[in-house]
C-alpha cells in the first residue's frame, strides 16, 4: 500500500539526534522478541496515513481534528540487536510523524490543526512522553501552531470526563474527526470509560486492544468460584476488574475465544462495523490479543481490513495472497437495535430546566419505559409525535442514553452554579421494574445511581419518582435527596389495565416505607388520579391515603388526556371532593401537600 521497505519500519529514519536516548532506555519497553508489538505499531502507522488521507478529502468537516490515546506510554521503545540498540517511536510519536510528513509534502487542502490528548497513568512515563513531544515539535517548528498536545497524567477511568471536556461542546463537533486508541495494560480500562468515549458526538474511529489472555485467565477464576473452590481475596478483586472490563457478569462470558470477542463487540460497540486482527504469541498458535478496529462507516472498516490482511500476508506469505487472510479475519456489524438494555442512543444534551414544584432541572437518561402505562402516557405520546419511537412496542423496550455521564459532566461545568435540584425523571422512570424478571432492570438502575452519586458529590440534591421500587443502594446516598413513588390506586384490575408492567403496589409502598424509617425524605404522587367510571375504587381515596401516612409530602392531580375521564358526568365535583379529602388528611397528619394546577379544589 505505501511502497515502503518490507525490511524496516518507515520511521527508522526519524531523527532522534537531539535526544539523549541512552538515558531513556528501559528494558520494560524493549521490543526484543515482542513481534506482536512491532506488528501493532506498523499497523498503526499505516492506519494513521489512511485516517489523514480520508478526512483531508472531506470538504464539509472542520479543520480541527482530535486524537485520544488513553494509554499513551512513554512514546519510545528500544530494540536490541547483536551489535546495537535502535529506537522505535510509540503510538503518539508515530501519529505526530505521520502528520508532519503529510504537512511537509503539502498534502493538506486546507490549514489543519490536530489536538492530541494523551493520557498516561505512570508519572515517569508521562515525563518521558512530555520530553519527546517537546523535542519533536522542536524539530518541526512549523507544526507548533498546528499540533496542540495535552498530556494528562492519571488513571484514564478517573480522568475520562476531563478528556471528554477537551473536545468542543458544540453541534459542530460532528465535523471534528476523532480517532481513539486504547491499548490498556491488562484489563485496566472499564467499559464505562469506553462507552463514555463512544458517546462523544464526533465522527469517530476507534482501535482497541482486547487482551484475550487476561480475560481467559480471569475467566478461569470465575469457574473456581462457581465450583466453590478456595479463591483468594486478590482473585475476587480481579473478577470485579473483569466485570468492569467486559461490562457483564463473568458467568455469562463465553469460554470460546471468538465467542468471547463477539460477546464483547456486540455488547459494547453498538451500531459499529468491526474488524479484529488476531495477534498470536511469537512461538505458538494461541492468540494473545485482538486488535479491534471499529467505525460507523463500513467503507472505512473495509480499508482497515485490507491493511490487516496485507500485514498477515507480509508476516506469513501465502500462495493465495492477502485475500485468504481477509476472508478469515473476524468481523461483525454490531446491531444497533433497541431490544436489550445494553443497546442505546446518543444525545446532544441531558439537563433540562423545568417550571414544576419538584425541582428546577430534570434529566431523562433513557428513551422509553418498561412500565407501558396506558392512561394514556404523556411521555409516550410526545415521543411518538416527535418520531423518537415508532410504536408502543418500541416504547416499552427502552434504550440507555449511552453518553449520559459525559453529557452530565459537561453540562455541570456549564450550569452547575445555577442548579439546586434535579428531578429523575419526567419522560421515563429512573428505577424501572422488569415484569418478566420480577425485579428491577439493573442496567438502567445502575445508570440512575451513577447520576445521583455524581450530582450529590457536586452538592446537588435529587428528587426521584418511580413506579418501580427502591434498591438497597439508595440507602448509601445523600439524605438531602427525596424519594417518591406514584400511587393512584390499590385496585389490581385497574393496574392490569392502565399500569400493566409496573411494580406491584405493595412492593412500591414497602420500599418507600423502608426509606422513611431509615430517615430519608419520602413523597407520593397521586397523579393522574382516575375517575370512578375508570376505577370504581377511586371514590374511596382514604384507603389509599392510609397506606402512605408515613410520607413527608403528597402531590395530587387529575387524569388528563383520557376521553372517559373527561366525559364523567360529575368530573369537576369529583376532583373537588378528592382534593378536599387529600388536604384534610395531610393537615391532620402533618404532611405537606400540593394540588396540581388545573385540578379542581374546594
| pLDDT per position as a tens digit, 159-213 | 998 998 888 765 556 689 999 999 998 889 998 899 889 888 888 999 999 988 8
Angle 306-308-311 (CA atoms, 0-180°, nearest 5)? 110
What percentage of the chain carries pLDDT values higher than 90?
53
Q: What is the mean pLDDT of the chain?
A: 86
In a 13 Å sphere around the CA of 537, the CA atoms on its Cβ side amount to 12
Say what the pTM is. Answer: 0.62
pLDDT-derived band of residue 334, with 50, 70 and 90 as boundaries?
very low
Q: Residues 397, 477, 546, 527: is their CA dihedral positive or negative? A: negative
Distance CA(381)–CA(468), nearest Å, equals 21
- CA 249, chain centre distance (Å): 17
Higher pLDDT, 8 or 173: 173
Task: Find the mean pLDDT for residues 384-392.
Answer: 88
> Is the Cβ–Cβ distance between 431 and 469 less than 8 Å?
yes
What is the predicted pLDDT for the residue at 218? 74
Buried b (16+ CB within 10 A) or exposed e, 496-529: eebbebbbebebbbebbebbbeeebbbbbbbbbb
> 301: left (phi > 0), else alpha (psi -120 to 50), else beta?
alpha
Backbone angles phi, psi at 540, to 5 degrees: -100, 60
Distance CA(527)–CA(595), nearest Å, equals 10
- CA 384, chain centre distance (Å): 25
Distance CA(506)–CA(20), nearest Å, equals 73
Give the H or E element holding residue 206: strand 204-210
Distance CA(61)–CA(177), nearest Å, equals 8
| pLDDT per position as a tens digit, 246-291 | 876 666 777 778 888 888 888 888 778 999 999 887 766 678 889 9
> Is the Cβ–Cβ distance between 78 and 30 less than 8 Å?
yes
What is the predicted pLDDT for the residue at 339? 30
SS3 for 227? coil
What is the predicted pLDDT for the residue at 230? 55
pLDDT-derived band of residue 5, with 50, 70 and 90 as boundaries?
very low
Count of other CB atoms within 10 angstroms of residue 286:
12
* Residues whose CB is less than 8 angstroms from the CB of residue 593 and which lie 6 or more positions away in sequence, other chains included: 553, 554, 555, 556, 582, 583, 586, 587
SS3 for 448? helix
Distance CA(329)–CA(349), nearest Å, equals 38
The DSSP result for 265-297, as a single string, is: HHHHSTT-EEEEEEEE-SSSSSEEEEEEEEES-
| pLDDT per position as a tens digit, 33-60 | 888 898 999 999 999 999 999 999 988 8
Distance CA(572)–CA(578), nearest Å, equals 10
Distance CA(202)–CA(178), nearest Å, equals 6
Distance CA(93)–CA(10), nearest Å, equals 13
Reply yes or no: is the peptide bond before residue 528 cis, omega within 30 of 0. Answer: yes
In a 13 Å sphere around the CA of 82, the CA atoms on its Cβ side amount to 0
| pLDDT per position as a tens digit, 510-561 | 999 999 999 999 999 999 999 999 999 999 999 999 999 999 999 999 998 7
Distance CA(481)–CA(424), nearest Å, equals 11
Give the H or E element holding residue 349: none
Higher pLDDT, 173 or 231: 173
> Is the Cβ–Cβ distance between 541 and 578 less than 8 Å?
yes
Backbone angles phi, psi at 443, to 5 degrees: -60, -40
Query: Where do the DSSP E strands lie in 272-385?
Result: 273-280, 287-295, 330-333, 344-345, 351-353, 361-363, 366-367
Does the pLDDT value for residue 223 go beyond 70? no
Amino acid at each position: 500500500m505505501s511502497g515502503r521497505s518490507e525490511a524496516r519500519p518507515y520511521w527508522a529514519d526519524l531523527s532522534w539526534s537531539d535526544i539523549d536516548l541512552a538515558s531513556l532506555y528501559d528494558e520494560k519497553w524493549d521490543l526484543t522478541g515482542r513481534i506482536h508489538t512491532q506488528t501493532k505499531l506498523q499497523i498503526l502507522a499505516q492506519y494513521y496515513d489512511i485516517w489523514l488521507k480520508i478526512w483531508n478529502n472531506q470538504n464539509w468537516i472542520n479543520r480541527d481534528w482530535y486524537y485520544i490515546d488513553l494509554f499513551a506510554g512513554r512514546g519510545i521503545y528500544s530494540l536490541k540487536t547483536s551489535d546495537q540498540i535502535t529506537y522505535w517511536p510509540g503510538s503518539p510519536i508515530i501519529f505526530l510523524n505521520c502528520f508532519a510528513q503529510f504537512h511537509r509534502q503539502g498534502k493538506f487542502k486546507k490549514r489543519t490543526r490536530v489536538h492530541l490528548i494523551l493520557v498516561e497513568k505512570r508519572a515517569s512515563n508521562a515525563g518521558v512522553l512530555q520530553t519527546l513531544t517537546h523535542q519533536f515539535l522542536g524539530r518541526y517548528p512549523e507544526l507548533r501552531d498546528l499540533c496542540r498536545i495535552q498530556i494528562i497524567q492519571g488513571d484514564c477511568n478517573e480522568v475520562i470526563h476531563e478528556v471528554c471536556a477537551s473536545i468542543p461542546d458544540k453541534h459542530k463537533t460532528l465535523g471534528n474527526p476523532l480517532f481513539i486508541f486504547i491499548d490498556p495494560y491488562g484489563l485496566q480500562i472499564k467499559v464505562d470509560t469506553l462507552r463514555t468515549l463512544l458517546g462523544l458526538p464526533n465522527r469517530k474511529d476507534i482501535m482497541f486492544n482486547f487482551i484475550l489472555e487476561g480475560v481467559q485467565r480471569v475467566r478461569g477464576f470465575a469457574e473456581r468460584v462457581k465450583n466453590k473452590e478456595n479463591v483468594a481475596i486478590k482473585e475476587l478483586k480481579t473478577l470485579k476488574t473483569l466485570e468492569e472490563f467486559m461490562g457483564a457478569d463473568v458467568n455469562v462470558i463465553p469460554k470460546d475465544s471468538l465467542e468471547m470477542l463477539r460477546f464483547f463487540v456486540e455488547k459494547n460497540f453498538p451500531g459499529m462495523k468491526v474488524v479484529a486482527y488476531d495477534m498470536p504469541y511469537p512461538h505458538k498458535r494461541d492468540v494473545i490479543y485482538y486488535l479491534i478496529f471499529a467505525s460507523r462507516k463500513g467503507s472505512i472498516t473495509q480499508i482497515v481490513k485490507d491493511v490487516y490482511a496485507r500485514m498477515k500476508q507480509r508476516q506469513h506469505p501465502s500462495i493465495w495472497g492477502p485475500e485468504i487472510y481477509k476472508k478469515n479475519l473476524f468481523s461483525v456489524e454490531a446491531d444497533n437495535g433497541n431490544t436489550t438494555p445494553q443497546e442505546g442512543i446518543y444525545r446532544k444534551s441531558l439537563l433540562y430546566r423545568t417550571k414544576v414544584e419538584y425541582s428546577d432541572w430534570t434529566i431523562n437518561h433513557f428513551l422509553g419505559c418498561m412500565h407501558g402505562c396506558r392512561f394514556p402516557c404523556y411521555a409516550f405520546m410526545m415521543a411518538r409525535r416527535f418520531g423518537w419511537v415508532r410504536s408502543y412496542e418500541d416504547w416499552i423496550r427502552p434504550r440507555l442514553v449511552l453518553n449520559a455521564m459525559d453529557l452530565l459532566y459537561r453540562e455541570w461545568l456549564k450550569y452547575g452554579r445555577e442548579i439546586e435540584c434535579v428531578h429523575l425523571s419526567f419522560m421515563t422512570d429512573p428505577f424501572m421494574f422488569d415484569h418478566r424478571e420480577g425485579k428491577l432492570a439493573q442496567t438502567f438502575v445502575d445508570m440512575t445511581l451513577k447520576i445521583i452519586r455524581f450530582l450529590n458529590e457536586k452538592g446537588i440534591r435529587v428528587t426521584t419518582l418511580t413506579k418501580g421500587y427502591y434498591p438497597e443502594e439508595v440507602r448509601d446516598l445523600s439524605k438531602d435527596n427525596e424519594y417518591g413513588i406514584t400511587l393512584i390506586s390499590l385496585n389490581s384490575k385497574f393496574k392490569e389495565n392502565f399500569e400493566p408492567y409496573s411494580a406491584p403496589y405493595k412492593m412500591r409502598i414497602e420500599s418507600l416505607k423502608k426509606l422513611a424509617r431509615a430517615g430519608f425524605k419520602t413523597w407520593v404522587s397521586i397523579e393522574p388520579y382516575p375517575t370512578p367510571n375508570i376505577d370504581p375504587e377511586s371514590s374511596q381515596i382514604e384507603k389509599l391515603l392510609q397506606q402512605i401516612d408515613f410520607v413527608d409530602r403528597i402531590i395530587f392531580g387529575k387524569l388528563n388526556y383520557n376521553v372517559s375521564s373527561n366525559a364523567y358526568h360529575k368530573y369537576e365535583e369529583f376532583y373537588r371532593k378528592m382534593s378536599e379529602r387529600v388536604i384534610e388528611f395531610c393537615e391532620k397528619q402533618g404532611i405537606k401537600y400540593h394540588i396540581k394546577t388545573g385540578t379542581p379544589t374546594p
